[in-house]
Amino acid sequence: MTTDVQTVLEAGSTVADRYVVEALLGRGGTAAVYRARDQVLGRAVALKVFAPGTTAPHGARERAEVDLLASFHHPSLVTLFDVCTDADHGGERPVLVMELVEGPHLGERIAQGPLARVDVARMAGDLAEALHAVHEAGVVHRDIKPGNVLLGPSLLPTHEFRARLADFGIAYLVDSTRLTAEGILVGTPAYLSPEQARGEEPSPAGDVYSLGLVLLESLTRERAFDGPLLEALAARLSSDPHVPGHVGYGWKSLLAAMTARDPADRPTPLDVVVRARALEAEDEAGATGAVAAGEASATGPVPVVATSSALPTGAVERSTQDLPADPPPAAATVPGPRGDHQHRSRARSWVALLVAVPVLAVGAVLWQGRTTDAPSTPELPAVEAPLDDHLSDLMTSVTP
């Protein structure tokens, strides 16, 4: 039987006389992860079993480093419980005992499509907080990649997941030379920083760079530096990753800063937290506004109260009922002397005045109907007798 990482531990087998294997969760080129049960504490754990030839920490310094990593307690960190050795299944292999997080890793989620910007912003803030905490303790992750970001259930129903960073400091722990098995580069080539690609010592700024690449891939579903190993490593030494404009100006600015080739130009994890929280708030506000607009449109058009200058029908009917009938046409007259002509002119003026009074009254009624909310009965001028009688009498008196 071969003794490499591809050798699957059978369910029911025991590791380090304490952990009973239950199922294989996943495996890669250097390690396999199992679900197991701690027989001493009676809890479910995750076992990361490395390939043979990888040196496990045995000395006092290495054990102190394990204790340091195990002391980290952060909502966005997968807790490391212990480091031990499996010598019962074909050779000595280092085994990391970690907190079990139920859920997929980020790489599996990205395969389904780009994540929403608000989810990526929340994840960026959570993971940057975790980076800040461990960097303050002098620990560098060295291998940030989607496979090391576990998406556990969130306590908030409005959040899709809670991102947890796993394998903290593992590359640092598994060998004192930081390059454990021959030919294995510490870190994943697609997410290494330029200084790591040049073989320089990993630093906190390198973690920020790698996190920037992970966030960019989460938004676009595309790796910034993909392809063969040497090409992927060389590309970041001469070019910056492409950040498409559709992610928005805020994201474009943040990701460009996080993936700057010069480590001195990159923000600190705490800076990333502040900017990511601002992006999260901005995206949440935009989503809330879109939902509110959708609800408003779903209820139908808002009724508009029409304002019209037209007189209400009832008022028109009431006012026309009180109007006098049209006067009959006046009889033809024979021209007379100048005095008679002046007399007739004065008479015609009186006739025009009598005709104008009702017209003005009707106009007043119409104007009142335009300017009042409720129509009222118009007050017409009092007339002692029908208008046609007055006109007839007046015409008789002025006829020679």
Give the DSSP per-residue string, 272-299: HHHHHHHHHHHHHHHHHHHHHHHHHHHT
Residue 298 belongs to a domain = no
* C-alpha to C-alpha distance for 241 and 220, rounded to whole angstroms: 12
**CB-count exposure of residue 157 (10 Å: 0-12, 13-18, 19+):** exposed
User: Is residue 50's pLDDT more than 60?
Assistant: yes
pLDDT, tens digit, for every residue of 174-205? 544 443 444 445 567 889 999 988 888 889 99
Please report which confidence band the pLDDT of residue 51 belongs to, taking 50, 70 and 90 as the band edges. confident
7 backbone φψ class: left, alpha, beta (φ>0; ψ -120 to 50):
beta
Q: Measured between alpha carbons, how far is 278 from 275 in angstroms, rounded to an integer?
A: 5
Residue 229 lies in a domain: yes
Identify whether the C-beta of residue 35 lies closer than 8 Å to the C-beta of residue 25.
Answer: yes
More confident residue, 151 or 300: 151
**Same domain? 273 vs 353:** no
Q: Which residues on neighbouring strands pair with residue 99, listed in sequence order?
A: 45
Confidence at 285, pLDDT banded by 50, 70, 90: confident
pLDDT at 394: 54
- Together in a domain, 66 and 24: yes
pLDDT of residue 172: 57
**For residue 208, is pLDDT > 70?**
yes
For residues 375 and 394, membership in a common domain is answered with yes
Confidence of residue 37 (pLDDT cuts 50, 70, 90): very high
- Asked if the structure places residue 301 within a domain, the reply is no
Cβ atoms of residues 174 and 55 within 8 Å = yes
More confident of the two residues 209 and 197:
209
How far is the CA of 62 from the CAs of 59, 70, 143, 169, 177, in angstroms?
Answer: 5, 12, 19, 11, 12
Whether 63 is covered by a domain: the verdict is yes
Query: Which residue would you say has higher pLDDT here, 384 or 284?
Result: 284
How far is it, in rounded angstroms, from Cα 357 to Cα 383? 11
pLDDT above 60: residue 381: no
Q: Report yes or no on 80 lying in a domain.
A: yes
Same domain membership, residue 119 and residue 64: no
At residue 180, the pLDDT reads: 41
User: Is it the case that residue 299 has pLDDT exceeding 80?
Assistant: no
In a domain, 295, yes or no: no
For residue 113, tell me if it sits in a domain. yes
122-136, 191-205, 347-361: least confident range: 347-361
pLDDT tens digits for range 219-270: 999 999 887 878 888 888 989 999 999 999 999 999 999 999 999 999 999 9
Query: Are residues 140 and 70 both part of a single domain?
Result: no
pLDDT of 148: 92
Q: Which residues are annotated as a binding site for ATP?
A: 48
Residues 276 and 198 placed together within one structural domain of the fold:
yes
Q: Which of 119, 143, 167, 207 is catalytic?
A: 143
Looking at residue 66, what is its pLDDT? 72
Range of the domain at 361: 313-398
CATH code of 10's domain: 3.30.200.20
14 lies in the same domain as 65: yes
Q: Length of the chain in residues, anyone?
A: 400
Mark 92-114 as b/e (b = at least 16 C-beta within 10 Å). bbbbbbbbbbeebbbbebbeeeb
CATH of the domain at 212: 1.10.510.10
- Report the percentage of the chain scoring pLDDT > 70: 60
322 counts as catalytic: no
Q: Are residues 96 and 107 in the same domain?
A: no
pLDDT classification of 128: cutoffs 50, 70, 90: very high
Are 151 and 247 members of one domain? Answer: yes
Structure tokens given for 216:
């960019």
Q: Are residues 61 and 150 in the same domain?
A: no
Write down which residue in 69, 100, 131 finishes a domain.
100
Q: Is residue 170 part of a domain?
A: yes
DSSP 47-78: EEEEPTTPPPP-SHHHHHHHHHHHT---TTBP
pLDDT of residue 226: 83
Residues 127, 93 share a domain: no
End of a domain among 227, 255, 289?
289
What are the Cα distances from residue 339, in Å, to 164, 343, 351, 396?
Answer: 115, 6, 18, 17
- Count of domains in the chain? 3
For the chain, give the percent of residues with pLDDT over 90: 39
- Residues 137 and 269 reside in one and the same domain: yes
Annotated binding site: 48
pLDDT band at 85 (very low <50, low <70, confident <90, very high): confident
Q: How far, in Å, CA of 99 to CA of 81, rounded?
A: 7
The encoded tokens of residue 41 equal: 């504490």
Where among 289, 305, 330 does a domain terminate? 289
Please write the tens of the pLDDT for every residue from 139-182.
Answer: 889 889 999 999 998 888 888 899 999 887 665 555 444 434 44
Q: What is the mean pLDDT of the chain?
A: 75
